[in-house]
Amino acid sequence: MTLKKMAGPLLGFVLAGCMLLMLVHPASSLDAALRGLAVWWDVLFPSLFPFFVISEIMLGFGIVHLFGALLDPLMRPLFNIPGSGGFVAAMGYVSGYPVGAKLTAKLREQGMISKIEGERLVAFTTSSDPIFLLGAVSVGFFHDASLGLVLALAHYGGGFLVGLLMSFHGRNRTGDSVKASSAPADSLGPAPAEQGSGRLRSALNAMAEARRKDGRSLGELLKSAIQSSLQLIIVVGGLVVFFNVLMALLARAGIMSVLFSLAGRLLTQAGFPPELSDALVSGFFEVTLGARSAGEAAGMLPLHFKVAAAAFILSWGGLSVHAQVASILNGTGLRYFPFMAARLVHALLSAGLVLLLWRPVVSSGLAEDWSTLPAASGLAAPGSNLAGSLSLLCILLAFLLLLSLLVLLLGKLRRLHHGR
């Protein structure tokens, strides 16, 4: 019997067990559902819904095509994806999971990226947002704003490395690229000889063409963006509630204790403190609970191990985020397995980077100096969600545009040097 044939009956058995546990422990199930609903309403809805709507409107107005044409010289050689992936990366890293997956699915639906390019893109644009990482994890869970720098370097640095590694994904496959006749203008871009104003003109033409093809008025575009974003945010909320209830039921049934014990033994054999098992197992299911457990782990544990565990959990994302991404990718042709493998690699890289960077960043006092900067304290402050994220998005896009311009200039200088 193949694994695929066994998956259906096994899933049915698990769901039947969950139903039985809900009947046995109705009060615990209700409390867990209310906690999950509170997280969705208080945190996820106000932080994700505006970005869902904004991204839909930007696609309709062709702004994604504009940035795609401008960022193509940077994204192609680095990550082997079209320039529109640079916009997805900026939105995903600023607003957090699962915005990167949502935008990737939209680009795939519009034929702007191939299947392999979509799998590369979603693999490294799914990350924690800086406000959650700096505010909730560093300040809220660890009560130390200076830890935000090493966490950010490890988490986003690990994501960058995953992007470089994923550029090799599917390179030997043929017949899956976007056809030139139907490719958007951002993927075609100007000819290699075109520089400066020529590329900008091409980008503006791509934006105008995308807007013409969309054809919806502002009112129609806003209505459609709100409707589709509401559908997605409700799915996200339902999955958050489901996994909160699932973890509560597993704890009541004693299964979580068994998992904690097994994880502790594995950590001991690997040379790590077994006290981190609670955080890692909780983070396997849900990122917020796992990061909080890492911050609240036994005080005698070395701090760098607890921060490394938090970085691992943030980069893995939890099964709740995995389920959100899988639901978004459903129907696009993009496979879930490359995403899952990339999350695991990202988690291992992030934890390793924390241990590698701990002494030069934290022990040197650089982290404390960074935490006193207005930008760092502003992102970590409560209530900075939308305004801080939009400001960071503008800064990140400007930085990517400068890098893309620098790549163009270096290419022009290289051609001039070879032409002599």
- Tell me: pLDDT of 354 over 50: yes
The string over 317-348, giving b where at least 16 C-beta atoms fall within 10 Å of a residue's C-beta and e elsewhere, is bbbbbbbbbbbbbeebebeeebbbebbebbbe
Written as one string, the DSSP assignment of 362-411 is: IITTHHHHHHTSHHHHHHHSTT-HHHHHHHHHHHHHHHHHHHHHHHHHHH
Query: Per residue in 272-301, pLDDT tens?
Result: 889 899 999 999 998 988 888 998 887 788
- Tell me: pLDDT of 270 over 50: yes
Residue type, 135: G
Query: Per residue in 9-46, pLDDT tens?
Result: 776 777 787 788 788 888 888 898 998 898 888 878 88
The mean per-residue pLDDT over the stretch 143-154 comes to 88
Res. 162 pLDDT band, cuts 50 70 90: very high
Whether 298 contacts 264, CB under 8 Å: no
Which of these ranges, 150-159, 193-202, 238-247, 392-401, has the smallest mean pLDDT?
193-202
* CA 407 distance to own-chain centroid: 26
Enumerate the H helices of 25-81 as residue ranges: 26-39, 45-61, 63-79
Q: Of the candidates 166, 81, 86, which has an alpha carbon nearest to the alpha carbon of residue 342?
A: 166
Which of these ranges, 4-8, 179-183, 325-329, has the smallest mean pLDDT?
179-183
The pLDDT score that the predictor gives to residue 296 is 86
Contacts of 404 (CB under 8 A, 6+ apart): 70, 71, 72, 73, 74, 83, 86
- Tell me: pLDDT of 221 over 50: yes
What is the percent of the chain with per-residue pLDDT over 90, rounded to a whole number? 29
Rounded CA gap, 362 and 368, in Å?
A: 8
Instruction: State the Cα torsion 197-177-88-140 to the nearest 10°.
Output: -150
Which of these ranges, 100-104, 379-383, 405-409, has the smallest mean pLDDT?
379-383
Res. 338 pLDDT band, cuts 50 70 90: very high
The mean per-residue pLDDT over the stretch 72-86 comes to 90
Which of these ranges, 68-72, 123-127, 197-201, has the smallest mean pLDDT?
197-201
Whether 136 contacts 363, CB under 8 Å: no
